Structure 1
């Protein structure tokens, strides 16, 4: 059996999924908790918080392609991508602690510290997540096996997401009653150590099977030019950017929505966060059978259209009862759980298409570019959240907000994500890598044949 189409064991799929669970400790907390932490606990003004998210992420425009190119050129007995899981897992854990620390500085000092800590966490996330995401394309090139691998990945990833979202506030209150700042630091320290262990298990249980057809020396500019020739990557860039903007705006505002619109406390907030995790697992498990019966492009179109329309229901749901909103929240996150494996399966397909079209496999660069777009979506979504809150007069650290600020939370939580989800649905209609097309490409690659 060709290494391109070799079956992947359940053990390896599980180990691979643990790597993303570790990554999601940082990613999900950045989406759902960090904005709340910076405004309500650390005390940053919303506009400053939003600008911080955007400006620091600009650094990724430089670091992501560099890391992708370095990963592509890495040579070791463990492969190109796996060694980085071993090297960076400890600094990754340290970054989790530092970004949730609250030193006793003045306002200027707090901003400077937040920038430095956030940059360090971003760099560590880049250094370990780009090789991890590239690893999936090095495990298998078979479209069906890849979708299965990504389904396992996104069914397991919410374990880490739960740590960074649903569990952090209850654990913080348990570890340091009455001192949520210290409690969150301790909680993220514990989760960082767990994430480190998850990365080590991922390193030990996975195997790189797919090697580049053509080896060349490190040349970032050349690889960027090769990537630019991949027309399907450009389509996915619009798709990923719009999707992540929608995910982040809604995710960042969930805590505010539950607290100020539904008038509920930390226990209900944690229930919403936990429901996010469980629903994402259900959706991820449904992605493989759905993708086997329906074209994944068509499935993604409808998943995002439904995400837009169902999200608007929060505008008309009664606010005196939180259960209806909770049910809608679960439905939305099942849909998002379906979206994630489809998204990453298409990213892998675009990587194989790029090799078929250009005769050069630049997995690390391809993944780095996609992750940069995803992180740019996170940055823009976070910035829009902060700027939107500031526009509607939200006051950091103030328990009682104005009616205008509360109305702003509802509008930002519903209308803005719906717009981004509709853009996502429209963009992916132009994507051309159907399963039949990919089967032809994989067969050609296995024979050393390329686009004529």
Structure 2
């Protein structure tokens, strides 16, 4: 490794404002950026059906007890933890005419769509059979999601090394995530009711999931077709798995990014899951589901547009602190506005906008840790490092959903028919209290981020090393 590696240490890279990324390669084409963003539309059309509606589907449609639903959601995510690492390592060692990451999008999209439909088709049988079926389909869905999402996340550092381009791709990905989530959260309940006649219709959920899954599969194939892998020259076939894992564990920015992601997705999962119960049992306005849930995802569209100039000015660490602190403060006002719905919605929208700006930084942060890994340890490992982010996404989502399920079960919630006052109080505590507390935890984590100032220099040095080898 070059001796200049010691020129900047992880502990001293935080000083100063972020420098502009050097122009080391031609910009990406517009259709590549759009196609990359469509990959997250595809992910969220399916996965947000799970994160936003699956717990409600289990408890109020399929008739699975809340505690059992929470247990299976949480247990499945820890069972497939090892599979995420295996898929990441496999991506790093894949060589095909389609590249390293893209083949997984081609061959994994259709099975993922099929299993997504099966997840929302719990049979009308005994409770034991229902739970067994739900465990099997949910676990398989998580494995297939990893087989798509880890390669998809690995694409960003393969497409470009330029930090400005990555910020743009991160913005497109955040907007794609927002569009997918917006479609799911705004249309699912109306479609279920239109097809099946009520919010708890089995037929409505089946055909709604079929529609979402079909579009998801199509968009994954569009991403496969139009995104090009440019930077796959640093292979890992001759590098042992032990060395890769050791480098990942020692990669401080990667640890920070993944801890931040876990808490982020716990918060997002709690917000989206409990919103359905909040609208039905506290506001008594079912139509509000299609208003409040889309505001969470719609904020990412604006956040995606602001990503590049916002973080170029403030840096990832300070930018996240400011955005999350503002969002937490706005959330603190919501309990006072519960009976003034227009003002409530306006403040809620601003709070979601601030947290949405924060969430857009996740994707570029993980891509930057890939460069750091190569620069510091000589191991690039796009697949393995993105496996960590995929696992953080799933574990955070599972913890959030399970937490809501266990809390509701403890408060005596069984279904939506005449829930006890303790359950109503618990729904309010989860809705108002959990998000700002988790935002404060995120602020504490991002304070340890150390790549803002160092990353442009790292990219330049890597470019010089690659030229010297060519």
TM-score normalised over the length of structure 1 = 0.94
Query: Is 1:3–1:210's contact at 8 Å kept on the other side of the alignment?
Result: no
* 8 Å contact from structure 1 (residues 245, 417) kept in 2: no
Question: Paired residue for 2:425?
Answer: 407
- 1:96 paired to 2:116: yes
Give runs of aligned pairs for residues 19-418 of structure 1, distance below 5 A: 19-178=39-198, 180-217=201-238, 219-265=240-286, 267-319=287-339, 321-395=340-414, 397-418=415-436
**Residue in 1 that maps onto 2:19:** none
Q: Distance in 1 between matches of 2:33 and 2:455?
A: 21
Partner Cα distance (2:69, 2:333) in 1: 28
TM-fit CA distance, 1:22 = 0.5
Which deviations, in whole Å up to 9, do the C-alpha atoms of 1:239-290 show, x marking residues without a partner?
Answer: 112222111111110111111221212x221122233332221122112221
Residue-by-residue CA offset, 1:295-324 (whole Å, 9 max, x unaligned): 1211111212222222222222233x4323
Give the aligned CA root-mean-square deviation in angstroms: 1.9
CA–CA separation in structure 1 for the residues paired with 2:118 and 2:211: 12
Q: Which stretch of structure 1 is more off in the superposition, 441-450 or 222-231?
A: 441-450
Contact map agreement 1:312 1:418 (CA 8 A) in 2: yes
| Residues 57 and 379 in structure 1, CA contact (< 8 A), matched pair in contact too | yes
Distance 1:235 1:398 in 2: 39
Q: What is the distance in 2 between the residues matched to 1:322 and 1:260?
A: 15
The answer as to whether partners of 2:375 and 2:458 remain within 8 angstroms in 1 is yes
Secondary structure of residue in 1 paired with 2:332: helix
Q: How far did residue 369 of structure 1 move?
A: 1.1
The CA distance in 2 between the partners of 1:328 and 1:49, in whole Å, is 32
Q: CA deviation at 1:137?
A: 1.3
Aligned match of 2:442: 424
Mapped partners of 1:93, 1:163: distance in 2: 17
* Equivalent-residue separation in structure 1 for 2:302 and 2:23 (angstroms): 30
Distance change (3 Å), C-alpha of 1:328 and 1:48: farther
Please state how far the C-alpha of 1:218 moved relative to its aligned partner. Answer: 7.3
Is the Cα contact below 8 Å between 2:67 and 2:405 reproduced in 1? yes
C-alpha distance 221-59 of structure 1, shift in aligned 2 (>3 A):
farther
CA distance in structure 2 between the partners assigned to 1:220 and 1:214 by the alignment: 12
Report the equivalent of 1:439: 456
Deviation at 1:217, TM superposition (A): 4.2
Extract unaligned runs of 5+ from structure 2.
Answer: 1-21
Deviation at 1:74, TM superposition (A): 0.8
Query: Does the 8 Å CA contact 2:185/2:289 hold for their aligned counterparts?
Result: no
The size of the alignment, in residue pairs, is 445
Residue 152 of structure 1 contacts residue 284 of structure 1 at CA under 8 Å; is this kept in 2?
A: yes
User: For residues 194-246 of structure 1, what are the alpha-carbon distances to aligned partners after superposition, in whole Å with 9 as ceiling and x for unaligned?
Assistant: 01110111111110011242442474443222211211112222211222211
Q: Distance in 1 between matches of 2:294 and 2:257?
A: 29
Contact 2:153/2:386, CA 8 A, preserved across alignment: yes
Query: Is the alpha carbon distance of 1:338 and 1:213 closer, same or farther for their aligned partners in structure 2, counting shifts above 3 Å?
Result: same
CA distance in 1, matches of 2:174, 2:141: 22
- SS at structure 1 position matched to 2:454: helix
Conserved 8 A contact 1:151-1:288: yes
Q: How far apart are residue 449 of structure 1 and its match?
A: 7.4
Structure 1 unaligned spans of 5+: none
Question: 1:412 offset after TM fit, Å?
Answer: 1.2
CA contact (8 A) 1:66 1:220 kept: no
**Contact 2:303–2:360 under 8 Å retained in 1:** no
1:89-112 deviation digits (Å, cap 9, x = unpaired): 100110121011131110000000
Counterpart of 1:328 in 2: which secondary structure? helix
